[in-house]
Amino acid sequence: MTSAFDAYRTSYESVVEESIAFSGLEHGFFLDAKADLLADVFERHFGTRRPNLLDVGCGVGLLHRRLIGIVSEMAGTDPSPESVARAESENPSNLYRLQQGGTLSFGDRTFDATLAVCVFHHVPVAERSGLLVEMRRVTRPGGLVTIIEHNPWNPLTRLAVSRCPFDHDAVLLGARETRTLLAQQGLRDISSRHFLAFPFRRPWVRSVEKVFGQVPLGAQFLTCGTA
């Protein structure tokens, strides 16, 4: 996986754009949707206090500029040296570290929140629990562990994944399986919310998706639990 993502340091956005071209939407639309949802989830959990965040499997860091104002400090880690190098160059105020092996190179209870966005479908099934153990280890008690993933029940999501070259190794996992992973690590108050059910920008979309977030209609879902 590392060498594959190294090859997409400069072309990551164009490759994603090609895989989702059938939707008529640009990649930024999906990044904005994630940022908006994270802002809502973090506000509900932390109130007015902005958490410091570790983004696990951060890639080239495209989401990070959209999280300014939502988090207080940001760190990222990824096994791809080329991706980390680009993330550092484009987000110089953030801390980035290369992830080597299955251990996150941060101390225990360092972050208020940890996040993995479309990462777990690249992780071999037998290694997913280990990564989650590490995410919980570096999360402070009372903090939030959050996973965003593709919804395998959405046919358009499956089409986009099948068209994306660096998703050739993808083994999709659903919200129920993700909640089980979090529960196995002793996380509390676990919940899931599906989003991107309506592929356009309208003021009412966020409100409607909150109501129907438990129904697996959206292209992606967010699952989180309290450490």
Q: Which two tokens stand for residue 223?
A: 């699952």
CA distance 217 to 104: 33
**What structural domains does the chain harbor?**
2-226 (3.40.50.150)
Q: For 75-103, what is each residue's pLDDT tens digit?
A: 999 999 999 999 999 999 999 999 988 89
What pLDDT score does 1 carry?
A: 45
CA distance 54 to 76: 5
Residues contacting residue 158 through CB under 8 Å, at least 6 positions apart? 152, 172
What pLDDT score does 124 carry?
A: 94
Q: Which two tokens stand for residue 161?
A: 């994944």
Q: Which of 35-44, 182-191, 196-205 has the lowest mean pLDDT?
A: 196-205
pTM of the model: 0.89
Supply the mean pLDDT for the chain: 88
